[in-house]
Amino acid sequence: MAQKVTIVDYGAGNIFSVSRAVEHFGAEVVLSGDPAVIRHAERLILPGVGAFANGMQGLRERGLVEPVREYAASGRPFLGICLGMQMMVERSEEFGSHDGLGILPGKVTRIAGKDAHGTPMKIPHIGWNRLTMPERRATWKDTILEGLPVESGAYFVHSFSVVPAREEDRLADTWHGDYRVSAAIQRGNVSGCQFHPEKSGPIGLRIIGNFLESR
């Protein structure tokens, strides 16, 4: 199990729960907004709640955009959660158009979706929803979702979501009515979850545990 996990502190809330989930496995949490610490992290989590532009602004003000990009390119394990996942892609359409970190190709758009009667689904998408295997994935082996029962429920709360440019970057999907939401993405060492593993009970803890064991 990992010894030390660095969580990027850029002024976004909800760091407490993520820290606790990591500590649950006996790992040490380093909460940091220091570019040098981020660059040299062994294992990095980019958390986040709230608006995309505010999140990117928080990273920029602390000079963290380049360090986070460099870290992602280093090959060491990197997990983005919720807004943290969204910031990993190239841009977002939330309240205008904003540049993201551009670590993975894709964009963030407002979720839509209608139910079986054609009624628009409620936004934000709040609650427990099932993780399903995207068509282009055969298995969750060697990913953060390894060992999860198929169709596990995870806790979502968001109004925007990532549309990955490459189908093969989709790690899990979920459905908001007839709208396919990218629930998790992964390419190499970079993983992201739209849902909150730190709020998804024992299933979520397992995902955090998998991340701590990933290489």
Spatial separation of the C-alpha atoms in residues 69 and 84, rounded to whole Å: 13
By the rule CB under 8 A, 109 interacts with another protein? no
Under the binding rule (CB under 8 A), the answer on residue 24 touching another protein is yes
Name every residue whose Cβ is closer than 8 Å to that of residue 40 and which is 6 or more positions away in sequence: none
- Interface with another protein (CB under 8 A), residue from 106, 196, 209, 210: 196
Chosen residue from 102, 109, 153, 180 binding another protein by CB under 8 A = 153
Beta bridge partners of 5: 29
Euclidean distance between CA atoms 166 and 6, whole angstroms = 28
| 186: contact with another protein by CB under 8 A | no
Q: Please report whether residue 126 would count as binding another protein according to CB under 8 A.
A: yes
124 near 157, Cβ under 8 Å? yes
Among 129, 143, 191, 194, binds another protein (CB under 8 A): 129
Residue 7: HSE in the Cβ half-sphere, 13 Å Cα cutoff: 24
Quick one: 67 or 177, whose CB is closer to another protein? Answer: 177
Q: Which position among 23, 66, 82, 167 bears the catalytic label?
A: 82
Catalytic residues: 82, 196, 198
